[in-house]
Amino acid sequence: MIDTHTNWNYTKFQFEKILLELSSFALSEEGKNNILNTKVLTDFDIIEKNYAILKDLIDYIKYEEDKIEIFKIFDIKEYLQEVGKGIILDAKKIYKICYNIKLYFNLKEKIGKYKDKYRNLNQILTLNNSIDSFYKEVLKYIDEDGNIDSNISKGLKEIREEIANIEVRIKSAVNEFFNNAKKNDYVVDDIISFRENFPCVGIKVSYKNRVNGIVIDYSTTGQTAFIVPNRVIELNNELVIAREREIEEIRKILKNYSELIKYLDQKFTRIDERFDEMKKDFVDLQTSVDAYAKRADTYFQEMVALSYKVDRHERWIKQIADKLGIKLEY
């Protein structure tokens, strides 16, 4: 909305009261603040246009069986600015961008079935589905928490299979070391513990030099030496290298996605602008739709009424002045 103030008396028109009522339905503090920071519109055409768009959306949600599942809309402006500067976005940010795109096209598809009925809403949903394969691929392999599925690339899958194989071999090497030490009565407890992220075996301190391993810790009594098998050290070095390759492969994947987002930036920006327009008019739609719609309808009806009230007051004053024979100066 336009941040243009007027000299109208907010209390008279109960504008702040309406905002307060609306904000009580917000699920988040951000949503509440967005509503409370709404400014008065002075352009009647914009008021009427925004109201018509919102009314279309509310009517669709209330009356159509083919519901729109709008649980959240992410604010992606900052992410688009970052990618424009050449910054590689992390998996969570890329997910949020693609989630918004998915939501946009879902909304466009559903509303498009009722072109004549919801004409105002259809007029702002104008992008085509030329980027379907991109956002669908991202949402298939990246989740909201930023976890990346191994199948996103052949390279990542192979690296993670190698990591899993090394981890199995580490476990096997520790078990073999433990069983041999136990057979010779070198172990203190029948458990394999961890010290400094290494699996190790508690060996009686008097036998520590009889096993092939490195002491990385001692018990508080000094009677037990916690030893990591030499073979585990070797395999752990392989594991570190494999995980570094995994990080590099993920970085490459995210870099490719970020560069594609930069290339398609104009389309993403338009999608974000559309959602931003909607967010300003219906924050937190996942709250009670009926209750929210009632308050939103009251708010926009009030805004529409403002224009008519001003005109009506001027006519009344003129009529009174004419009856009293008073000449008004404008």
What is the tens place of the pLDDT at every residue in 254-311?
Answer: 999 998 888 776 665 555 555 555 555 544 443 434 444 455 455 455 544 544 444 5
- What pTM was computed for the model? 0.64
Is the CB of residue 279 less than 8 Å from the CB of residue 73? yes
Tens of pLDDT along 131-147?
Answer: 667 889 999 999 999 99
Rounded Cα distance, 13 and 305, in Å: 10
Spell out the residues 6+ positions from residue 94 whose beta carbon is closer than 8 angstroms to its own: 138, 142, 254, 257, 258, 261
- More confident of the two residues 255 and 20: 255
Spell out the residues 6+ positions from residue 127 whose beta carbon is closer than 8 angstroms to its own: 104, 105, 108, 267, 270, 271
> What six digits make up the tokens of 24?
């009580």
- Mean pLDDT, to the nearest integer, of 154-175? 96
Domains of the chain from N-terminus onward:
10-76+266-316 (no CATH), 154-250 (1.10.1420.10)
In what side-by-side order are the strands of the sheet with 213-218? 187-195, 198-204, 224-229, 213-218
